[in-house]
Amino acid sequence: MTNKTPHIDLKNDIGFGKTILMPGDPLRAKYIADNFLEDAVLVNGVRGVNGYTGYYKGVKVSVMASGMGMPSIGIYSYELYKFFGVQNIIRVGSAGAINENVKVRDIVIGQGACTNSNFISQYGMNGTIAPICNFDMLDIANKIAKSKNLNAHIGNLYSSDTFYDDTFPSSNWGKIGCLAVEMEAAALYTTAMRLGMRAMAICTISDILYPPFTALPADDREKTFTQMMELALDCAVEYEKLPIIEPKD
């Protein structure tokens, strides 16, 4: 345990909760802290990637931005797991649907994360790693989503290194069963797997990337993302019951 790494510098002794929500956008992290957490306190501000810790339904929970892309979330998730005692990371963000069964406003919970990234090559594996989420986290999230009657899909995400991708809309990732494209889950899952920790991604569909193309109207985004945030926070309450684990060397 420490209070400082190259990218995180704790401002006080409050620290991080057992579970941390990670949106890509620092402003969304502030929105979650301001609107959902009680007694939220700023605990990190390095590079403007603000982190907050507060309480939700009496449980200590944190929220901090991951930045955009796999290198960024790879850095923050590694440091949070390895040096700050964080047990569970939930990515919360937007995604584009690439499977015709998925519509605008739906929620996708990433069971696995296919990727075009070279992030995984760092492990020197003579083969292909399949980045997957933690089953306990997924099982709890599925049960809570059903209890809330949310239109939530569980399946593979496609984590892409490129936002403006020349292969879309004629992408084969949707044909092979990936539900939505985003840019962080594969790195988060692989980092958690390497360290023996727990991770999961929950995404709200903001855009349809197959014909006819659709984008969620700006006025609707806050309400729809609120469902995802509440699902993640209710999960965090239940994750408090999961056993404490230590990161692997």
Q: Give catalytic residue positions.
A: 207
Contacts of 227 (CB under 8 A, 6+ apart): 107, 148, 150, 204
Alpha helices in 60-183 (DSSP H): 70-83, 135-147
Handedness of CA 190, 191, 193, 194 (dihedral sign): positive
Residue 192 token pair = 């958690």
Instruction: Tell me whether the omega of the peptide bond preceding residue 23 falls within 30 degrees of 0, making it cis.
Output: no
Alpha helices in 64-211 (DSSP H): 70-83, 135-147, 185-195
Residue 240 token pair = 């408090």
DSSP 101-152: T--TT-EEEEEEEEE--SGGGGG--SS----B--HHHHHHHHHHHHHTT--E
Q: Pick from 235, 217, 206: which is nearest to 93 by CA?
A: 206
Residue 96 token pair = 């584009």
